[in-house]
C-alpha cells in the first residue's frame, strides 16, 4: 500500500476512525481462509449485495484460494434514509442460476436482519445446496428478526458508519477505513 496516498482531504472533521484499513484487510484475510476451507471442492457462487457490499466482496475473493463464481443482487430497504424502512425491494435480480449450487451471500452490514431474512427466503426458493451469509459489519443490538450470519468481520455498536463501501448519501464509499459520523 502506498503510504504517501492520504485520504485526509476527503475525511470530514466529524468522522472518527472506527476500523482501520489494516484491521479490515487482516480480518478479510482470516474470513477468506475460513470460507475457502468451508467451500473446498464446492465451486461456490458468491453473491454481492449492491451497492455497499461490492468493496468487501472484491477484497474477500482475493483471499479465497478456490475456484468460485460471482454474481450480484441489488436490493433496497433504505432509499435515501439512514434507517431501514423495513420495506425491501429487488432493484437488480440475480443473473446466475443458483439451483444445486453452494451460495455465499456477501453483505456490507447487517443491522435489523430484515434484508438477510428477505434474501434467505428469496434465494432458498431457487434451490441452492448450501446457503450461507457473510457480512463485514454486524450490529447485533439492532436485530429485529432471528437470522444466522455464518461469517462476521466485526461486531459494532449502533452507530452510523461510512467508508469501505458504506455510504453517506451515496458519498464516501471510497474511504479505505470505516468511520463513525459524530
pLDDT value at 31 more than 70: yes
Q: Answer yes or no: 111 catalytic.
A: yes
In percent, how much of the chain has pLDDT > 90?
Answer: 82
Which of 158, 162, 157 has the alpha carbon at shortest distance from 181? 162
Domain boundaries, the chain: 21-75+88-158
Query: Among 148, 145, 172, which Cα is nearest to 161's?
Result: 172
pLDDT of residue 76: 84
Confidence check: pLDDT of 47 > 80 = yes
CA angle, 161 then 166 then 167, to 5°: 90
Q: What was the pLDDT predicted at 77?
A: 74
> Which is the catalytic residue, given 111, 155, 167, 168?
111
Using the predicted structure, report yes or no on whether residue 80 has a pLDDT greater than 90. Answer: no
Lookup: cell for 108: 456490507
Please determine, for residue 117, whether its predicted confidence score (pLDDT) is greater than 70. Answer: yes
> Per-residue pLDDT tens for 137-177?
999 998 999 999 999 999 999 999 999 999 998 899 999 99
Instruction: State the CATH architecture for 21-75+88-158.
Output: 3-Layer(aba) Sandwich (3.40)
Distance between CA atoms of 36 and 33, rounded to whole angstroms?
5
pLDDT recorded at residue 43? 95
pLDDT greater than 80 at residue 86: no
Question: According to the model, what pLDDT value does residue 96 have?
Answer: 95
Closest to 72 (Cα-Cα) out of 165, 160, 172 = 165
Please tell me which residue, 82 or 129, carries the higher pLDDT value. 129
Report DSSP state, residue 11.
Answer: S
- Please check the confidence at residue 2 and state whether its pLDDT lies above 60: no
Q: Is the pLDDT of residue 108 over 70?
A: yes
Amino acid at each position: 500500500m502506498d503510504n504517501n496516498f492520504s485520504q485526509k482531504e476527503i475525511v470530514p472533521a466529524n468522522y472518527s476512525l472506527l476500523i482501520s484499513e489494516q484491521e479490515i484487510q487482516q480480518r478479510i484475510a482470516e474470513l477468506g481462509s475460513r470460507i475457502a476451507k468451508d467451500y473446498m471442492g464446492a465451486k461456490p457462487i458468491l453473491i454481492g449485495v449492491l451497492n455497499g457490499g461490492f468493496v468487501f466482496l472484491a477484497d474477500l475473493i482475493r483471499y479465497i484460494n478456490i475456484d468460485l463464481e460471482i454474481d450480484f443482487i441489488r436490493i433496497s430497504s433504505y432509499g435515501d434514509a439512514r434507517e431501514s424502512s423495513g420495506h425491501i425491494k429487488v432493484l437488480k435480480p440475480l443473473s446466475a442460476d443458483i439451483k444445486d449450487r453452494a451460495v455465499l451471500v456477501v453483505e456490507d452490514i447487517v443491522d435489523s436482519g430484515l434484508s438477510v431474512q428477505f434474501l434467505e427466503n428469496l434465494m432458498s426458493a431457487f434451490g441452492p445446496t448450501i446457503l450461507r451469509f457473510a457480512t463485514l459489519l454486524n450490529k447485533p443490538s439492532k436485530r429485529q428478526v432471528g437470522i444466522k450470519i455464518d461469517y462476521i468481520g466485526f461486531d459494532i455498536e449502533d452507530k452510523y458508519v461510512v467508508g469501505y463501501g458504506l455510504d453517506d448519501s451515496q458519498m464516501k464509499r471510497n474511504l479505505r477505513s470505516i468511520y463513525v459520523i459524530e
